[in-house]
Amino acid sequence: MTDSSRTSLAAPWKTPCLIAGLVGAAVCAAGALIQPGQFWPGYLTAFVFWLGVGLGSLGIALLHRLTGGRWGWSVSRPLVAGAETIPVLFLLSLPLALSLPTLYAFGGDDSHSSLNAQQELYFLLPFFFGRAALYFVVWNILSFGVSRAYKRDREHGVTGGGARRAALGLIVFWLLASFAVFDWIMSVDPGWYSTIYGAQHTMGFAVSAFAFAIIVRHFSGRAASEPDARTQDLGSMLLAFNLLWVYFAFSQFFLIWSADLPIENTWYLRRSEGLWAAAAPTLAVVHFVVPFALLLSQDVKAHSRRLAGVAALLLAARLIDLTWCIVPAYDVAGAMTAVYGLAAFIALGGLWLFVFRLRWEKLAILADPVMLPSAKRDSADSLEAV
């Protein structure tokens, strides 16, 4: 399948996504003005979801630059395009500055009532905003470096190189992503903390990004030009990423359950009340049991359409997980909360996908299989299409 035919498949993304984003943004603006208490939790959830796809793309691209492997070249275009959306994610984060009194204990006049002395120091607003700025500056630098490395490899017909820089970048990325999770997600529950929380959600970002890349690979037609074994490799990677998320999530639950300390277990108790009681069993099924069972099957992993279906299920599971982690921290419920959350998801998703499509167009150099040296054999002996 030629690049032009793949482009025609993806072309309808752009305009509908922009229109959906603008319509959703109008609903969001109304919600922020009329009912901010019900609106902002949904906006934060939607922002973290799409942030996870962009940041996860950067993290997996860094991982591939470090380890090499044919699997990474198969999804290099969506990964690099996703990483290059970080500037727009910064712009989408700016409205959250208006939401601090609603979302966070340290954002209001009564912030001292629910935070200890160390937390008050850590969440001083200049320090909080300074950290956020640092995160995005470093992530953008890493994104630029990764994009340039992939383009350079395609232009010169080589693979690999820069493993040491990628290793350093991956360490920095993991640390900053973990602290961003502490700042933006964990802090919605003042007084509660978990040292594994950052790792859990950073791995969730990787699941989101890899699932999204697999879906894009299928619908762009790239899978049709590659052997089934490559699709199977991607399915195995998706299974590995998801099992790591399951490990972190279960470890946190098990440690808190075994300690049985009120300051810790209240987080789970709040999320087991009312309608939220169904969320945890649902997550266990759609984020672990079903994907695990399906991705053990060679027939599913080697079939692009079936694998894309599992990836779509995991994307839905990621949204459920983020909603369960964020929204119950606030005393909001009802139809309007769901409406605003959906509007925010559509608004941010439409705008993010629009920018993703623009970056995709700029990465045509990553579109077609090219002859690159095999990672497992000497390049003087053989070349392998990737």
Q: How far apart are CA 302 and CA 235, in angstroms?
A: 8
β-pairing verdict for 383-385 and 371-373: antiparallel
**Residue linked to tokens 């993290």:** 59
Per-residue model confidence (pLDDT) at position 385 = 29
Residue with token string 């002859």: 371
- Provide the token pair at 162: 């820069």
DSSP 100-144: HHHH-GGGSTTGGGT--HHHHHHT-HHHHHHHHHHHHHHHHHHHH
Helix axes 86-93, 36-67, angle to 10 degrees: 160
d(CA 352, CA 51): 9
Query: Of the candidates 248, 210, 234, which has an alpha carbon nearest to the alpha carbon of residue 58?
Result: 210
Q: Specify the pTM.
A: 0.91
Closest CA to 192 of 94, 271, 108: 271
The conformation of residue 287, written as its DSSP 8-state character, comes to I
Q: 36-67 vs 335-361: helix axis angle to the nearest 10?
A: 30
Q: What is the pLDDT of residue 378?
A: 32
Domain ranges of the chain: 3-105+125-368
At residue 88, φ and ψ (nearest 5 deg) are -70, -30
Determine the 3-state secondary structure of 372 from DSSP: strand
Sign of the dihedral through C-alpha 13, 14, 19, 22 = positive
Q: In the chain, at which residue ranges do the beta strands (DSSP E only) sit?
A: 371-373, 383-385
Contacts 24+ apart (CB under 8 A), 48-51: 48/184, 48/185, 48/322, 48/326, 49/208, 49/318, 49/319, 49/322, 49/345, 49/348, 50/89, 50/92, 50/348, 50/349, 50/352, 51/89, 51/93, 51/205
pLDDT string in tens for the chain (386-residue length): 334 434 444 456 788 999 999 999 999 999 999 999 999 999 999 999 999 999 999 999 999 999 988 888 899 999 999 999 999 999 999 999 999 989 998 876 554 456 777 888 888 899 999 999 999 999 999 999 999 999 888 777 666 668 899 999 999 999 999 999 999 999 999 888 899 999 999 999 999 999 999 999 999 888 887 888 899 999 999 999 999 999 999 999 999 999 888 888 999 999 998 889 999 999 999 999 999 999 999 999 999 999 999 999 999 999 999 999 999 999 877 788 899 999 999 999 999 999 999 999 888 877 655 444 443 333 322 223 22
8 Å CB contact between 74 and 226: yes
Residues 49, 47: Cα–Cα separation, whole Å: 5
The phi and psi torsions of 371 (rounded to 5 degrees) equal -80, 115
**380 burial class (0-12, 13-18, 19+ CB within 10 angstroms)?**
exposed
What is d(CA 335, CA 225) in angstroms, rounded to the nearest whole number?
A: 45
- Residue 384: strand pairing partners: 372
pLDDT at 121: 87
